[in-house]
Structure 1
Amino acid sequence: MDPHLLRTFVAVARSASFSTAARELGYTQSAVSQQIAALEADLGVPLLRRRPVTPTDAGQRLLEHATPILLRLDAARADIRRVSGAPPAHLRAGASPLADTGGLTEALVAVRRAMPRVSAGLSVLGRDAVVTGVARGELDVGLVDGVTAPSDPLRLVEVGTLSTAVVSTGPLVVALPASHPLASRTALRLGDLADAGWIDAPDAAIPLGQLRAVARGDGFRAGFRYDGAERSVLLALVAAGAGLALLPGSVVRDRPDLAAVPLAAPALTHRTELVHGSLTEPAAALTALLSTAGRRTGPGTTTA
């Protein structure tokens, strides 16, 4: 199966448009149509319905396979480039919105001063986007956060060979309005909140899908959706009564309109991990600084 044809198929299926995919890939619409036809001839089944453009059952199954296949190919290409010995001109770091980035900005500036010919940059992205960005070589290092049992690693999107290291761990709290009936509790059990109203904020709070997974239940339905990544906006929504949110304890501080009730059960922790592939010289310097910085952290937080 030709990966170029596979990449074209993914672009058409995702955009639901031959013309949009053609613009995205830099092809003519006719070339895209020919590539899809060639892939369908190779597999012996139709993959796309034309009006409207939607995957067939076979196309949907191929799409599920295609995404990790193409990501692994991109990761392999990026890894080869990283070990090729070419002198890097950029140091690009990424972080998910709730990742513990204490020390990262200082480390980036320190590397930039030590290597003035290397430009540095930082992007705040969704959790999966950080990991896939590192795998594809779009980012040199990433800080990604998530919820896990104290002894378990984070469950990251599968992208091949990447190295990870724990940067910090800390407690989780349920954020709710100060006037909420549960605000005076000393602790809350996650299972008791399955039927509460939650804010679905996949990038600004712990995703509701993770809550359902750890609680092994079908509750945790959203009463409000927030697609941004600004913590201040999320906290304002919680304070206004839009719903509850599960957050790292360090996020909910100095807000008299909010209560932060510790999570008693199950035993979960918020963890930030450093993710990287083969390291260039600037990226290696950055990771060394992050591992030896001895960062100051909030109560109940530990650093590697």
Structure 2
Amino acid sequence: MYEPGLLRAFVAVVEHGSFTRAAQVLHLTQSTVSQQVRRLEEDVGQPLLEREGGVRPTAAGERLLGYARRLLALGAEARAAMAGEAPQKILRLGLPEDLAGALLTPVLAAFARAQGDGLRLEVSSGLSAELLAGYRRGEFDVVLAKQRQGDGAFSWPERVVWVDSRAHPCWGRDPLPLAVFPEGGLYREEMFEALDARHLRWRIAYSSRSLASLRAAVAEGLGVSLLPERAVRAGHRVLGRAEGLPTGHPMRLVLHHRGEASASTRALVARLVRRCEALVQG
């Protein structure tokens, strides 16, 4: 078996995005954390982290990450059981970045309070493709994700629109500057395909994983974007037929959870379903 201490160092580095922050959380020196990850890589027989341009897991690291988290959680549960303590259940939820803020935080906080100390809710946000990949690896119990088709337990329509700056419009520039999610984000390829079909030249002027950042970039005139309709703000102007742009491709907000879900998981799903239905109805 892989050494739990090495797995713990690896997971901390991935979750915090750097060796320095992982060392602070683990109360170790940065060199110790680095050595532990190196030892794990030697044990596995292949690199687990990309270290250039920021720390992120390799393909092998992605495969190991879900197993590492489950092994560490199982170890903690075993220690609690042997100490005569009631084991704390962990419920892991993945959300798109634009839903992880004020739209769902009150729902999640109320759920956590209702569950008490017997449950630890762990929430992660990110790009939908990354969340779905993590769900398939067993890293999440419940995931809300944006998809072109709804194939989960529940799904709702997600209307998207083209947006430009009201004060500093970009539409009409050649090439057209775009504000986009990074590679792998939904909407991105739809934008490129729609503009290419109309023989419009474009360039990526701004890229961010954060919906709030893209929203601000559009409002300040850094680029046109394709965003969820609910993300439109006063500083935006919606583009459409007058500009020769198509209606945004139909998207779905899809909720995934496993068939053998626990009672606490079903309770969380019920709350999320009610909230998502309210969002769709406006």
Q: Same fold (TM over 0.5)?
A: yes
> Alignment partner of 1:295: what SS?
helix
Aligned-residue offset at 1:170: 2.5
Q: Per the alignment, in what secondary structure is the counterpart of residue 250 of structure 1?
A: helix
Give, in whole Å, the separation in 1 of the partners of 2:232 and 2:223. 15
Which has the larger share of helix?
2
Which of 286, 289, 300 matches 2:268?
286
Q: 5 Å matches for 1:1-304?
A: 2=2, 29=31, 33=35, 36=38, 40=42, 63-74=58-69, 93-99=93-99, 104=104, 108=108, 111=111, 115=115, 123=123, 125-127=125-127, 130=131, 132=134, 135-136=138-139, 140-146=141-147, 148=148, 151=149, 153=151, 164-178=152-166, 180=169, 196-202=176-182, 206=186, 208=188, 211=191, 221-226=203-208, 228-230=210-212, 233-252=213-232, 255=234, 257-261=236-240, 264=246, 268-277=249-258, 278-291=260-273, 295-298=277-280
| Counterpart residue identity of residue 95, structure 2 | A
Deviation of 1:228 (Å) = 3.8
Give, in angstroms, the shift of residue 242 of structure 1.
0.3
CA 1:101–1:22 in 2, change beyond 3 Å: closer, same or farther? closer
| Cα distance in 1 for residues equivalent to 2:117 and 2:8 | 35
Tell me if the contact between 2:153 and 2:257 (Cα under 8 Å) persists in the aligned partners.
no
Residue 187 (structure 1) aligns with: none
By how many angstroms is 1:247 displaced? 0.7
- Distance in 2, matches of 1:170 and 1:112, equals 27
- Structure 2 unaligned spans of 5+: none
TM-score by length of 1: 0.54
Tell me the distance in 1 between the aligned counterparts of 2:194 and 2:63.
25
Question: Shift of residue 63 of structure 1?
Answer: 3.6
Measure, in 2, the Cα distance between the counterparts of 1:38 and 1:142.
Answer: 29
Contact 1:94/1:130 (8 A) holds in 2: yes
1:117-152 CA-partner distances (Å, limit 9, x unpaired): 667868562136655489436xx5332224x2xx46
Q: Which amino acid aligns with 1:199?
A: A
Aligned pair in 2 of structure 1 residues 176, 229: CA closer, same or farther (>3 Å)? closer
- 2:231 match: secondary structure: coil
Asked whether the equivalents of residues 9 and 36 of structure 2 are also in contact (C-alpha less than 8 Å), the reply is: no
> Whose RCO is larger (CA < 8 A, sep 6+)?
1
Query: Does the CA contact (< 8 Å) of 1:89 and 1:119 recur in 2?
Result: yes
The whole-number CA distance in structure 1 between the counterparts of 2:21 and 2:113 is 43
Code of the residue aligned with 1:136 in structure 2: it is E
Q: State whether residues 112 and 120 of structure 1, in contact with CA within 8 Å, keep that contact through their aligned partners in structure 2.
A: yes
CA contact (8 A) 1:103 1:290 kept: no
The Cα shift of 1:273 comes to: 1.8
Instruction: For structure 1, list consecutive stretches of 5 or more residues without a partner in the other structure.
Output: 56-61, 154-163, 184-192
From the superposition, tell whether residues 12 and 270 of structure 1 become closer, same or farther in structure 2 (CA, over 3 Å). Answer: closer
Cα distance in 2, alignment partners of residues 10 and 114 from structure 1: 29
Q: Quick check: 1:142–1:274 contact (8 Å CA) kept in 2?
A: yes
Residues 89, 200 of structure 1: alpha-carbon distance in 2 compared, 3 angstrom cutoff:
same
CA distance in 1 between counterparts of 2:7 and 2:87 reads: 32
Cα 1:74–1:31, aligned 2, differ >3 Å: closer, same or farther? closer
Count the aligned residue pairs.
255
